[in-house]
Amino acid sequence: MNIKINPSTLSGKVEAPASKSVAHRMLICAALAKEKSTIRINKTSEDIEATASCLRSLGVAIEKDGELWTVTPPSDFPEKAELDCGESGSTLRFMLPVVSALGIDATLNGHGRLPSRPIAPLLDEMKRHGISCDGSFPLHVSGRLTGGKYTVAGNISSQFITGLLLALPLCDGESEIEVIPPVESKPYIDITTSVLSLFGVNTTKNDNIYTVKKSDFVSGDFTAEGDWSNAAFLLSLGVEVGGLDTGSTQGDRKILDVLSSFGAEITQRNGTIQVNLSSLHGADVDASDIPDLVPVICAVASTAEGTTRIYNASRLRLKESDRIETTVRMINSLGGEAHETDDGIIINGKKSLSGGTVDGCGDHRIVMSAAVASLKCENPVIIEGAQAVNKSYSEFFKDFNSLGGDSDVM
């Protein structure tokens, strides 16, 4: 799907979509409980649906009635299962330890760049705790994960730690996960421990060691809070955004701090947040804990006066696309000036962009960032492969147009 965006001015209010990170974790925890749970998820995505599909493959009944998802665990999990993780790294890295802790002989498949994204460090540690897997894709795991002492590098993917935290309450005894510094994207681990607590599973942290005991997951009624990662695009459009918790454990709430560092004015009233982006200057941004924000930050920086430097972002090369390369290409194809560094991006801001054609590169965050940049373009913007937004925010262009945007499928 190619989309053409004509220059326009946006205004109005929109609700942030449900947090993808929270929804993944809540669905898995609900599936591991003994009784039925309900989860309110106001907007879904392909990644959330991928996790739901994998859980259904394990015999979990998941029914949707509007925004309300009802999750009913099976009386017994199957001995064997085949799971399709789509293109969702979260789904793969969370479900892999979970099915292993359940002792399921499972095959996990994926698409797009997912088979090439890092998984070996997690698998190697699981192999030391009762699991067999040759590491080739699709992944076939057998055996039963055991508790004990785990050691995981903290600079590859926080999703490895989350997957183990979700699985180890199913294992006998007490388990420890030692995370070797530096620990990047730590806020995503905080989301995991927060959601586990809601489902009755307590974890403790001492320095870089997480401890969890064998526990029963409890059912209940839950709501997936608004997603700061996707709200970052809406906030960068300059409209009012509702449904966000400024006290959230989500690390991407730092988008407000980043935009403030650019000189943006932030207003909070009646439960909504709005950002005035009329007069911006360049800034230095450490992306170590906020890698998903880099493309949209660069879209904002492309017309901020002066130079912006993004650093500690090397892990972006292992996302749905090489996001350092594709973000630079997106900015430059619209008439901006961006350059790659080893671990980030340097942008020299311009007063406006010319517009042009952007390759979405199969990456939802590149597509939405191009839409943000289009508001500063003098001419139309064409985004090729715009369907990539379905991965995390399928209603993005619907919301964009409801705010006064002018986007149409070509």
Confidence of residue 117 (pLDDT cuts 50, 70, 90): confident
Residue 321 has pLDDT above 90, yes or no: no
Rounded Cα distance between 351 and 401, Å, is 25
Confidence of residue 270 (pLDDT cuts 50, 70, 90): confident
- pLDDT-above-90 percentage for the chain: 92
pLDDT of residue 284: 97
Is 292 catalytic? The answer is yes
Average pLDDT value for the chain? 96
Work out the average pLDDT over 166-185. 95
pTM of the model: 0.89
Residues 368-401 have pLDDT tens digits of 999 999 999 999 999 999 999 999 999 999 999 9
pLDDT of residue 121: 94
Residues 137-151 have pLDDT tens digits of 999 999 999 999 999
List the beta bridge partners of residue 83.
Answer: 108
pLDDT of residue 318: 76
Instruction: Enumerate domains of the chain plus CATH numbers.
Output: 3-15+226-409 (3.65.10.10), 20-223 (3.65.10.10)
5 three-class SS: strand
Work out the average pLDDT over 62-66. 96
Q: Which helix (H) or strand (E) holds 116?
A: none
pLDDT of residue 113: 86
Which residue among 47, 292, 363, 399 is the active-site one?
292
pLDDT of residue 184: 82
**Quick one: three-class SS letters along 200-269?**
CCCEEEECCEEEEECCCECCCEEECCECHHHHHHHHCCCCEEECCCCCCCCHHHHHHHHHHHCCCEEEEE
Residues 285-306 have pLDDT tens digits of 999 989 999 999 999 999 999 9
Nearest CA to 21 out of 238, 290, 295 is that of 290
Confidence of residue 341 (pLDDT cuts 50, 70, 90): very high
List the beta bridge partners of residue 401.
Answer: none
Check: CB of residue 225 under 8 Å from CB of residue 249. Answer: no
Residues 76-95 have pLDDT tens digits of 999 999 999 999 999 999 99
Confidence of residue 200 (pLDDT cuts 50, 70, 90): very high
What are the C-alpha distances in Å from 72 to residues 21, 35, 81, 302?
Answer: 21, 7, 18, 47
pLDDT of residue 71: 98
